[in-house]
Amino acid sequence: MRAPAKKAPRLSVEALFDSPARVRASISPDGTRIAYLAPWRDRLNVWVQSLDCGDEPRCVTADGNRSVLTYHWSGDPRWLLYEQDRDGDEHFHIYRVDLADPDAEAVDLTPFPGVMALGFQPIPARPGKAFLHLNHRSPAEFDLYELDIATGELTVLAQNPGQPAGWMCAPDGSLYAQSLTADGDIEVARWDAQTQKTAPVATFDGTDYPLSIHPFELTADGTGVWLGSNRDSDRTRLVRLDLESGAETEVDSHPAFDLDTRCAVFPTLPSPLIRNEHTGALLGARYLGERQVIHALDPHFAEVLRHLEQLSDGDLGAVSCDASGQRWVAAFVHDRDPGVTYFYDHATGESRLLHRAYPHLDPGALAPMTTVTIPARDGLRLPAYLTLPVGVESTGLPLVLLVHGGPWLRDSWGFNPAVQLLANRGYAVLQVNFRGSTGYGKAFLKAGIGELSGAMHDDLVDAVDWAVAEGYADRERAAIFGASYGGYAALVGVTFTPDVFAAAIDVCGPSNLVTYLATLPEFARPGLLNNWYLYAGDPSDPDQQADLLARSPISRVDRIRTPLMVAQGANDIRVVKAESDQIVDALRARGVEVEYMVKDNEGHGFLNPDNTIDLFRAADRFLARHLGGRPHTQ
C-alpha cells in the first residue's frame, strides 16, 4: 500500500468540535431573506440576512444557555419560530420571534412546565396557523392543537383517546390518527370528533417498522398520505395511501436502496421527501445507499436538481425554496467539505456560494471516507465505512471501531468530526452497519431480532477481524467507541469480549437493559412493542427479564479489565444517569479505575460546544494513553 506524499497538519479538538460558522440556512417564503444558525455567545442562534441588499446579518434569537437547532419560517414575514428545551430535558417548547421588533423578547407559545411540543407544522392552507402535538393533558398522550402564531391561541383539535401515536388534519378539517393496535400493528384511521371514535383506513405490520412509518406526510390536497412502505417488499419505497379507500399506490422506488429515513431518529436531518414547504407540493425523494440518490418527482424540480447537483461533488443536504419555486438555498453533505451552502436562482441561472460551515478547515487536510463491505461469520454482508489517516501508511494502524446508536439507525457517508479527529491522530476508523441497522432492507433489519450482545455484537468483532486481516489494523490496539446503543455496544465489548479491545468509550449507553427499559419516559413506552420488546425482550415476562439481564453489561461487570471511559448527561431522559452510575460504581467498588465525565446541563448526548470539546479532549487523551497515540495537547 502506498502512503500519500503529504502528512496532514495536526488539528485541535476545538477546530473540529466548536460551533460551525454558519449552518442550516433556509430561504424565506418571499425569497428575499435567508435564516441560518451561527454562534452568539458561544451558542448557535438564529440569524437573518437579506439575500439581495447586502445588509449586515442580524441575530434574532438570544439563547446564551443552549444552542438552537431547529427553526421555522412562518407565512407572515413578521414571525419566525424556533424550538428549544432546557438543558437537554427534551421538553421542547415553541418560541416566536418578532422580526419587525429587534428589541422584543422571544415569546414562549407553549408555556407549560414539563410539556413537550412535537411535530410543529405550518399550514399552507391556513395562513398564520400551525399544527403541533402537546402532552399537556397527560405525559404519555399527545393531543393535536392548532396554534394561531400571531396571537398564541391554542385550540384542541383532537384529544388522544389513549393509543394514537400521531395526528393529521386535512385542509377540509378531516382528522386522521396513526395508532398502535394491542398487537402492535400500525393502524391509520379516520377520526370522528363527534363520536370520539375511529374508522380504520389501513393497517401495517408493526414488526416491519420498529420506529413506526417514515415518512408519513399528508398530501397537499389532504386526500392521501405519502409514506415509506415495505409491504410485500424488502425495500422501503414511496407509496400514496388513499385516505378514502385505503388503497396503496406506488409513487416511486429505487431498485437497491431504501428511502432515507434517518430523520426518524434525528429530526434535524432532511426528510426523505423533498417538498415545497409553502405549497406542500411533492418534488423529490431521497434514497440512501453508499451515497445518496435523489429521484425528481416534479418536472420543474428535475431541472432545478440538475443545476444544484453541479454546484458540489457532495450529496444534496437540506434544501429550501421560496413559494414560487424559483429561488433556492441548498447545503451539501461531504466527507471533507461539510455544509457548503449555495444560493441558486432558477429564473436567472445565477448561483453563488453563501458560506462554508467550517471555513477554517482545509478539505485537503481531512481524511476521505470510503465504503467497504465486510463479510460476517454467517455470510451476511455488512456495509461499512473506513477512514484512514492522511499521509500515513495504512498498515498496522491502531483502530477505533465507532458504533452508531439506535440500534435502528445507520452510518452514512459525510463529515463526522469524531471520525476526522481520530483519523487525524493516526487511527484507522471503522463504522460498520451491523445487522439490525436501518436502510438496508427489511431482512437485514430483522436479522437483529434477539441478537443484542449476540450476532449484532459478533458483527462488530468480525469487522475488527476484517480490518486486521486486510492489514489496516493492529489487533493489539483496537478500541470501541459509541453513544447510546453504541455506548451499550462499547460496554458489551469490554464485558462479553474483553480480549478484543484495548480501550472503550461509552457515552450515555445502557448498562442494564432491565432498568433502562423501566426508566424510559412515558411518551416512549407505546412504541416499545415493535422495537426493544421485539428485538431484546419484555421485562414484564420473567423469562425475558432474565434474558435481558443476561445480555446486560452489568451482569458481567466482573470481567472488565479493559480501560474504560464513560460520559453522561445528567438530564438524559432516555438513558438516565443511573445507567452510567451503576457500571461506574460497580467498577470503583472493585478498585478498578474508570474515567467518568458528567455534564449537568446536557441530556442524551452532548450539544453545547464547550461540553463536546471537553468530551473529545478527554477521549483524545484516553485513546492516546491506551492505543499508543499522541493527542494534540498533552
How far is the C-alpha of 426 from the C-alpha of 424, rounded, in Å?
A: 5
pLDDT at position 632, please? 61
* DSSP E strand boundaries for 322-472: 327-333, 340-345, 351-355, 369-375, 381-387, 397-403, 428-432
Output the nine-digit C-alpha cell for 259.
428511502
In a domain, residue 302? The reply is no
Strand, helix or coil for residue 610: helix
Give the DSSP H/E element, type plus range, for residue 607: none
Task: Give Cβ neighbours of residue 429 (< 8 Å, ≥ 6 apart).
Answer: 367, 386, 387, 388, 399, 400, 402, 419, 422, 423
Phi–psi pair at 510, nearest 5 degrees:
-65, 135
Nearest CA among 512, 464, 520 for reference residue 488: 512
Question: Which residues, given as ranges, of the chain have pLDDT below 50?
Answer: 1-5, 634
Output the nine-digit C-alpha cell for 11.
488539528
How far is the C-alpha of 492 from the C-alpha of 473, rounded, in Å?
A: 21
How far is the C-alpha of 580 from the C-alpha of 595, rounded, in Å?
A: 11
In a domain, residue 180? The reply is no
Q: Which amino acid is at 218?
A: L
Nearest CA among 460, 480, 444, 436 for reference residue 619: 480
In three state form, how does the secondary structure of 180-215 look? ECCCCCEEEEEEECCCCEEEEEEEECHHHCECECCC
Task: Give Cβ neighbours of residue 513 (< 8 Å, ≥ 6 apart).
Answer: 452, 536, 537, 539, 548, 549, 551, 552
How far is the C-alpha of 354 from the C-alpha of 193, rounded, in Å?
A: 48
pTM, two decimal places: 0.95
Strand order in the sheet with 248-252: 216-218, 224-229, 237-242, 248-252
Cβ(96)–Cβ(149) under 8 Å?
yes
How far is the C-alpha of 428 from the C-alpha of 602, rounded, in Å?
A: 29
**Residue 570 belongs to domain spanning:** 367-512+552-627
DSSP state of 556: G
Cβ(18)–Cβ(63) under 8 Å?
no
Cβ(596)–Cβ(605) under 8 Å?
no
In a domain, residue 557? The reply is yes
Strand, helix or coil for residue 593: coil
In a domain, residue 410? The reply is yes
Active centre residues (catalytic): 484, 572, 604
Report pLDDT digits (tens) over 75-109. Answer: 898 999 999 999 999 999 999 999 999 899 999 99
Whether cis (ω within 30° of 0) applies to the bond prior to 398 is no
How far is the C-alpha of 72 from the C-alpha of 520, rounded, in Å?
A: 29
Q: Which amino acid is at 428?
A: A
Dihedral angle sign, alpha carbons of residues 475, 479, 485, 487: positive
How far is the C-alpha of 302 from the C-alpha of 296, rounded, in Å?
A: 5
Whether cis (ω within 30° of 0) applies to the bond prior to 139 is no
In a domain, residue 401? The reply is yes
283: left (phi over 0), alpha (psi -120 to 50) or beta: alpha
Output the nine-digit C-alpha cell for 494.
469490554
Burial track 144-155 (b if 16+ CB lie within 10 A, e otherwise): bbbbebeeeebe
Task: Give Cβ neighbours of residue 193 (< 8 Å, ≥ 6 apart).
Answer: 157, 158, 175
What's the farthest any 2 CA atoms get from each other in the chain? 74
In a domain, residue 606? The reply is yes
Burial track 541-566 (b if 16+ CB lie within 10 A, e otherwise): eeeebebbbebbbbbbbeebebbbbb
Strand order in the sheet with 564-569: 369-375, 381-387, 428-432, 397-403, 473-483, 503-507, 564-569, 595-599
In a domain, residue 567? The reply is yes
Cβ(129)–Cβ(122) under 8 Å?
yes
Question: How many percent of the chain have pLDDT more than 90?
Answer: 88
In a domain, residue 561? The reply is yes
How far is the C-alpha of 184 from the C-alpha of 529, rounded, in Å?
A: 6
Phi–psi pair at 353, nearest 5 degrees:
-70, 130
pLDDT at position 566, please? 98
Q: How many domains does the chain have?
A: 1
Domain at 412, CATH number: 3.40.50.1820
